[in-house]
Amino acid sequence: MPLPQVVAVADPSPARLAGMLPGDEIRSMNGQVPRDVIEYQLLADEPLVELEVGRGGLDLLVAVEKRAGEPLGLEVSSAVFDRVRTCDNHCEFCFIYQLPKGMRRTLYLKDDDYRLSFLYGNFTTLTRFTELDLERVVSERLSPLYVSIHATDPDVRARMLRNRRGAMSLRWLRALLDHGIEVHGQIVVCPGLNDGHVLEDTLSGVLERFPELATVAAVPLGVSRFSTEEAMRPHTPGEASAVLDTVSCWQEIFDATLGRRLVYAADEYYLLAGRPFPSTEDYGDFPQRENGIGMARAFEREWEGGEVAGERGGFFRWVEGAPGEGYRGPRATPVQLGRRRRAGAGGRDPVGVLTGEYGAKVLGPLLADRSDVEVVPVPNSFFGGNIAVTGLITGADVDAVLRSRDARWRYLLPDVCLSNGRFLDGTAVEALSVPVEVVPTDGRSLRAALA
């Protein structure tokens, strides 16, 4: 199997003092070959780490002495060193199938790997989960995990996954919950397939079979212009309202029986239905905000100076590699490019805040009192369809908007649409026709950038 490669060595660090170098191939750690960054971290936490290293055709033994739990100081090439467990489902709503040709090859990798669920919050269907996987999850306490439910009716679920194993794979969800593993669920709601009475039946099944779930998210499917599935279509405003009504009804049932709301609807449903978002308090610690659950309210709280717990992620972020220190990789350092400035209203520089069409609806009210700031929505012509989230805007679409605007303004771009400084279409942020400033995608950072 591929072995982890060292891509960076912190200075100072125990690994640097022991002589480790970028480019080293880690062949074993304390006699064990790590399969992934999880095992790597457990081995790296030991006070004595003996590394068998390959360097330029030489075999070396490097001994690193340090305090137990002290970071080793190495950044490795990826999150998974053996083979990523790919998905063998063929869901007609899968966004991977809706990507055009010619994008980065890593974007087409469709995973169903519980390790990436633990590491990055990726959702797994459990159709490739095994007894050995359960043993490892339980023994190493790989929690929380994220599971795609979609339907609790076996026949409906197998039909949605286009995989007969989908009918029975939720038995692993029951086993995980029985062993005290925290699990968050997801239901991708597809009009005419698992909405209406099927959604009611699914939430009833959750209450009956999986009441220990931490949260369940009801999210709409995304349909790009590249979709070839005739049955897949976006929700209408009326259908979005119906989903919200169902979720609200079941929140009351869950609250009465379990003492918590359990199920939440994605922000997109409220925007599509033209309804106000629930209160900030309704979302608790925002455990599924990166899945679009309460993201708007979390942003508002940060904008007002409050704190929101949890890790922040980005679409397809994990495929670019993971650091060996810690189980969740941080997004790349924000890029600061040169500003072109001119005096604006009240002596402030005029600023354009670039965002997706959904993001514009959230930011608009927050910035309504700033005459020197304009929210600049970026229509997603690249993907088309109902794709309007900020994380999926592309460089081509951003550049098309910038070319039609005053180049002397400051423009702020949220980092959620970038991975290693590139958009999903491969455009480098430096290649935009007008310089931009990349800022972290949270309310506090935006307020600081506008100060």
Say what the pLDDT of residue 310 is: 54
For position 122, what pLDDT does the model report? Answer: 87
How many whole angstroms separate alpha carbon 429 and alpha carbon 385?
Answer: 24
Q: What is the mean pLDDT of residues 24-37?
A: 93
For 423, what's the count of Cα atoms within 13 Å in the CB-facing half-sphere? 23
Distance, in Å, from the CA atom of 95 to the CA atom of 97, rounded to the nearest integer, reads: 5
State yes or no: pLDDT of 334 exceeds 50. no
Check residue 37 and give its pLDDT. Answer: 84
Is the pLDDT at 203 greater than 90, yes or no?
yes
Q: Which of 190-199, 261-270, 413-422 has the lowest mean pLDDT?
A: 413-422
Which pLDDT score is estimated for 118?
Answer: 87
pLDDT digits (tens, 9 = 90+) for 357-406: 999 999 999 999 999 999 999 999 999 999 999 999 999 999 999 999 99
Beta strands in 73-167 (DSSP E): 74-76, 145-148
Task: Give the number of C-alpha atoms closer than 13 A to the C-alpha of residue 357, restricted to the C-beta side.
Answer: 12
**139 pLDDT tier (thresholds 50, 70, 90):** very high
The dihedral through the CA atoms of 321, 327, 328, 329 has a sign that is negative
Q: Is the pLDDT of residue 335 over 80?
A: no
Q: What is the pLDDT at residue 328?
A: 37
The pTM assigned to this predicted structure is: 0.88
**44/417 Cα distance (integer angstroms):** 32
pLDDT category of residue 1 using cuts at 50, 70 and 90:
low
Which whole-number Å values give the CA distances from 328 to 119, 120, 310, in the listed order? 5, 6, 11
Greatest alpha-carbon span in the chain:
66
Q: Where do the domains of the chain lie, and which CATH numbers do they carry?
A: 6-76 (2.30.42.10), 96-319 (3.20.20), 345-443 (3.40.50)
In whole angstroms, give the CA distance from residue 273 to residue 240. Answer: 6
Look up tokens 């005419």; give the residue: 192
pLDDT in tens, 208-226: 999 999 999 999 999 999 9
| Ranges of H-type helices in 326-437 | 357-366, 395-403
* Mean pLDDT over the full length of the chain: 89
**400: which DSSP letter?**
H
Q: What is the reported pLDDT for 309?
A: 66
> How far apart (Å, rounded) are the C-alpha atoms in residues 279 and 94?
31
Residue 374 to residue 354: CA distance in whole angstroms: 9
Task: Give the pairing of strands 25-29 and 48-55.
Answer: antiparallel
Which residue has better confidence, 28 or 335? 28
Q: In what order do the strands lie in the sheet with 373-377?
A: 373-377, 351-355, 410-414, 437-439
Judge whether residue 81 has pLDDT over 60: yes
Contact 266, 296 (CB under 8 A): no
Residue linked to tokens 């890790």 = 311
Torsion of CA 413, 418, 421, 424, to 10 degrees: -120
The highest-confidence range among 3-7, 246-250, 440-444, by mean pLDDT, is 246-250
109 neighbors 97 (Cβ within 8 angstroms): no
Rounded CA gap, 7 and 23, in Å?
Answer: 6
Integer-rounded Cα Rg, in Å, for the chain is 23
Strands 25-29 and 263-265: unpaired
Instruction: Check pLDDT > 80 for residue 125.
Output: yes
Q: How high is the pLDDT of residue 340?
A: 44
Backbone angles phi, psi at 57, to 5 degrees: 90, -5
At residue 322, does pLDDT exceed 70?
Answer: no
